[in-house]
Amino acid sequence: MKGTSFYVLFCFFGAIICDDPPRCTSDAYDNYPGFAPGCTRNCTNNYEVEPARRYNDGVFCFASNPDGSFKHLGACYEGVCQEEPRGPNGQLPNQWADEYHMCASNTSLNTPVTNCAFICKMKREQHLPEGYFFGIFKHPSKCELGNGKIGVCASGHCTDPELYPKIDDGELKPSSK
């Protein structure tokens, strides 16, 4: 009788004390550092799977191509990671801030890359969980510009090399008076 009572009490209180707390209590992506991998997530509450929930609008995210490769950095709007263009003064959006640029930069001089930025998963600080951050391919890494053209990586974006002034094409000659 004592043994049975112990098991009944242990199982009853063990289920109460050890039960997983409900997840998805917030639609913010503030539990992890860095970018959200998309703008929706599946939730489990008390062992039941809920429909996918959206993160709040404005949460920094990254989008992936169908093959799983990195597509772009952006912000969540209505459950979709939308790329944010540069500001009116050519300034990069806040997702490109130094606090998110934690991956070591790479260089690719022989093989053109499909994207001049990439995502890595890492711990920024020992006491924080792993998060998603970005890195860039440094100038003059080659990249696929589109339409079969090869571009040059600059600040994480593929740009047309024709846009750069040609300052070192030949010797500098004095003007004739």
- Does the structure show a pLDDT above 80 at 164? no
- Does the structure show a pLDDT above 50 at 16? no
In a domain, 175, yes or no: no
pLDDT for position 126: 82
- The 10s digit of each residue's pLDDT in 55-75 is 888 888 899 989 888 898 888
pLDDT for position 152: 92
Residue 151: pLDDT band by 50, 70, 90 thresholds?
very high
Burial of residue 17 (CB within 10 Å: 0-12, 13-18, 19+) is: exposed
Quote the number of domains for the chain: 2
Mean pLDDT for 92-105 is 79
Range of the domain at 121: 101-167
Residues 107 and 77 in one domain: no
In a domain, 143, yes or no: yes
